[in-house]
Amino acid sequence: MGRFLYEYELNATTWIYLSSLMTIAIYFRFGRLWSVRNLDLLALIALAPGILLISLGGELVLRGYVWLFAVSGFLLLRMLTDPLMIRRPLLEPNLSTGGLIFMTVSLLLFLMTNVLDRPPAETDLQGPRWAHRLLQREEAPPGESYLGRHGPGYPILYLIATLPNQWLIDLDPQLPQEEQEQMTLVATARTMAILSHLAVVVGMVLIGYRHFGSLRTGIATAALYLLLPYTAIMVSRVDHVLPAAVLVWAVAAYRRPLIAGLLIGLASGVVYCALFLLPLWTAFYWRRGRIRFLAGALCMASLLVATLALTASDFDAFLAQVREMAGFPALQEEDIANSFWHYAIPVYRIPVMVAFVSLSAGLALWPPQKNLGTLLSCSAAVMIAAQFWVVPQGGLFIAWYLPLLLLTVFRPNLEDRVALSTLTDGWFGWRRHRPLRVDQAAA
């Protein structure tokens, strides 16, 4: 950051203190000290110490994971009980709409500058590397895979950023080919991080404006997303924010089941844990739109698998990549090296996974009447529950559920936002469905 602002220096610990104080000053309800909103804010702030302990390394890593698991467990219970909270009083931030807009734009500019200043993680270069090979029509070396844990959605989306980066980056022809390729990969990873954060912010504002009926609420949730310490610490991690961007836009397009199905299918390709959202979302569309939703998810899954078939060198490589997309390598014991389960007894991870699968399947039945509010809270609950068994770094992928959690915290009463009355007609959603009036229904 010092390259852009003279002698600017702000470490993670200092930002945790400052952002926590700003969060309390802007969003804390001092007139209603024991409100659920205040408890939610304190829980979000409490995530920061666990992240800091893990980043310090050494003996503090285990304490950091235990801390994150404890806070995540509270947030999981909070999301599961959210459908029981009928009364949703409007608790606006302590800052005006103009102030929220100014803060959102300022934070977005500062965070994106940090993306340009920080080197991307090696895992974030896997997607650009495979996308580069696709453009160059190169085959992956035998036994080597560039999918990692991210699935085929990663390289497909990276193609969007790879093409303009190759045109815009002025590479020195005297540099070795390896250095030129590395510069392109780094630029692509940074571009995807910036676009993903921008997609999350715009999507949250759009949800607040169109589905909550309040532009100020959408801006407030986006501003809090940018203000929290986690976003600043993990700002350049594409594997954190890219799934969040896809899920946010799936919620934004919930009135169009086909588009929502395509996005949930894409999210399942980007991170395999999103596959467990299908029972919940299918149950939401069960009375209206389930065929369109499942068709969209199936079409996207078929497209992702077809992409693997076209890029694989042989059938064995294709099967290996499909296994990676479905998350089978996460079940292997050697994958627990950089996670909480490295310090615990690994066999106990099996009942945790069974409980997670049971939870995701049970959300298809409970709550029986699903609206947009339950769709938000239960989707966040599934992605929170995945943190307890995902490896590596399970518990740190807070961005997978953070935007959905914030939208749940700030949402109004959405009991009327059910699939039967809000979905559009037609496969592509060109016609708005108009529910019958009482007299028409009686006739």
- pLDDT single digits (tens) 59-89: 899 999 999 999 999 999 999 999 998 877 7
In this structure, of 78-92, 97-111, 282-296, 384-398, the range with the lowest mean pLDDT score is 78-92
When the pLDDT of each residue in the chain is averaged and rounded to a whole number, the result is 85
Predicted local confidence at residue 437, as pLDDT: 41
Residues 149-181 pLDDT 10s: 444 455 667 777 766 666 656 566 666 767 777
Quote the pLDDT of residue 443. 26
For residue 59, the model assigns a pLDDT of: 86
Going by the DSSP 8-state scheme, the letter that residue 118 receives in this structure is: S
| pLDDT value for 299 | 96
Confidence of residue 436 (pLDDT cuts 50, 70, 90): very low
**pLDDT > 90 in the chain, percent:** 52
Quick check: is 349 in a domain?
yes
Quick one: average pLDDT of 414-433?
A: 75
Look at residue 77 and tell me if it is in a domain: no
388, pLDDT greater than 90 = yes
- For the entire predicted model, the pTM comes to 0.91
Q: Which residues form the domain of 125?
A: 96-442
Q: Cα–Cα distances in Å, from 228 out to 25, 104, 403, 414, 419? A: 13, 12, 11, 26, 33
In-domain check, residue 58: no
> What's the per-residue H, E or C state across 144-204?
CCCCCCCCCHHHHHHHHHHHHHHHHCCCCCCCCHHHHHHHHHHHHHHHHHHHHHHHHHHHH
Nearby residues of 328 by Cβ (< 8 Å), 6 or more positions away:
none
pLDDT in tens, 218-242: 999 999 999 999 999 998 888 899 9
Q: 439 pLDDT band (50/70/90 cuts)?
A: very low
Q: Which of 30-34, 142-146, 346-350 has the lowest mean pLDDT?
A: 142-146
Does residue 181 belong to any structural domain of this protein? yes
Q: Residue 379: CB partners within 8 Å, gap ≥ 6?
A: 247, 251, 277, 280, 281, 401, 404
Q: Identify whether 418 is part of a domain.
A: yes
User: What angle, rounded to 10 degrees, do the helices at 153-168 and 257-270 form?
Assistant: 80
Q: Which of 5-9, 110-114, 247-251 has the highest mean pLDDT?
A: 247-251
**424 sits in which H/E element:** strand 424-425
pLDDT of residue 441: 34
Q: At 438, is the pLDDT very low, low, confident or very high (cuts 50, 70, 90)?
A: very low
pLDDT (0 to 100) of residue 116: 85
Q: Are 230 and 399 in contact (CB under 8 A)?
A: yes
Start-to-end Cα distance in the chain: 67
Please indicate, yes or no, if residue 84 is contained in any of the structural domains. no
Q: Which single residue is written with the structure tokens 């409970």?
A: 366
Choose among 412, 417, 373: nearest CA to 87: 412
pLDDT band for 426, please (50, 70, 90 cuts): confident
User: Angle at CA 236, nearest 5°, toward 228 and 207?
Assistant: 55
How much of the chain exceeds pLDDT 70, in percent? 82
Number of domains in the chain: 1
Around Cβ 119, how many Cβ atoms within 10 Å?
11
Q: What is the mean pLDDT of residues 266-295?
A: 93
Contacts of 22 (CB under 8 A, 6+ apart): 227
Q: What is the pLDDT of residue 319?
A: 80
Residue 412: inside a domain: yes
Residue 223 belongs to some domain of the structure = yes
